[in-house]
Amino acid sequence: MSSKIWTAVDEYIVSSLFEADPVLDAVLKANRDQGLPAIDVSAAQGKLLSLLVRIRGARTVLEVGTLGGYSTIWMARGLPADGKVVTLELDPHHAKVARSNFERAGVSGKVDLRVGPALQSLAALADQNAGAFDLIFIDADKPNNPNYLNWAMKLSRSGTVIVCDNVIRDGAVVKENSGDANVEGARAAFSFIGGEKRLDGTAIQTVGAKGYDGFAIAIVE
C-alpha cells in the first residue's frame, strides 16, 4: 500500500464530503507561494478539528503552532460568532502570511495571533488569566510537546479537549532512543498523557496526503 493511494483516498474524502472551497485553496496557495513548508494539516484533518470544536461546543480554542493559519481557519469556522482562537507562532513571516489568510477567510475577528516563542506566549496567557480554553491544539516544535501539555493543563478546565499532532511519525514512535528529537517529543507526549491522572486519552494512527502519522486526543477530567 503506497502513499499514492492514501493521497487518492484523501482526495476522494474531500470531493465526496466537502463543498468546493476556493478560500481554503487560496490559503494553501498563499502558504506555498510565500515559501512556508507544506506542513499544514490536510483538509480531512482540518475538517476533523472543525468538527471537534463543534462537538465540544467550544467557544475558546488555543492553538500552538499557526504556520499560515490553515488549521486555525478550520477551527475558527467551527466556533460560534463570538468564539475565539488564540494561536501562537514563533516565525514573524509565518505570522504575516497567516494574518493575511485570516483576512482572506473572513475570520480575523475571531483570531488572536500572538507572535513569539510559544512558551513565553503561554506564560503571558496564564498571567492574563486568558484560560480556560475549551479545546487546545498542539502542533509546533515537537520536542516541546511535554512543556506545551503542561501549559495546556494550566490553561484548561474539566472537559477541555487536547489534541496533539504528529505523534506517530511513520511508526518511529515505538523506537526507544531513536536519536530523533521529534520522535522523542512524540514519546514524551505519550508519557505525559499516560502519566497525568487528570487526562483520559488515546491516539489514532492515520495515513493520507500527509503520509503515515497520527494524533493524540485527550480530555481533561
Ligand X SMILES: C[S@@+](CC[C@H](N)C(=O)[O-])C[C@H]1O[C@@H](n2cnc3c(N)ncnc32)[C@H](O)[C@@H]1O
Residues at the interface with ligand X (CB under 6 A)? 39-41, 65-67, 70-71, 88-91, 94, 117-118, 139-141
Q: Which is nearer to ligand X, 116 or 194 (CB)?
A: 116
How far apart are CB 158 and ligand X at their closest, in Å?
A: 26
Q: Which is nearer to ligand X, 142 or 187 (CB)?
A: 142
How far apart are CB 207 and ligand X at their closest, in Å?
A: 17
How far apart are CB 78 and ligand X at their closest, in Å?
A: 14
Taking CA atoms, 117 is separated from 64, 90, 93, in Å, by: 10, 5, 14
How far apart are CB 91 and ligand X at their closest, in Å?
A: 4
Q: Which is nearer to ligand X, 29 or 198 (CB)?
A: 29
Q: How many CB atoms lie within 10 A of CB 20?
A: 8
Q: Which is nearer to ligand X, 117 or 159 (CB)?
A: 117
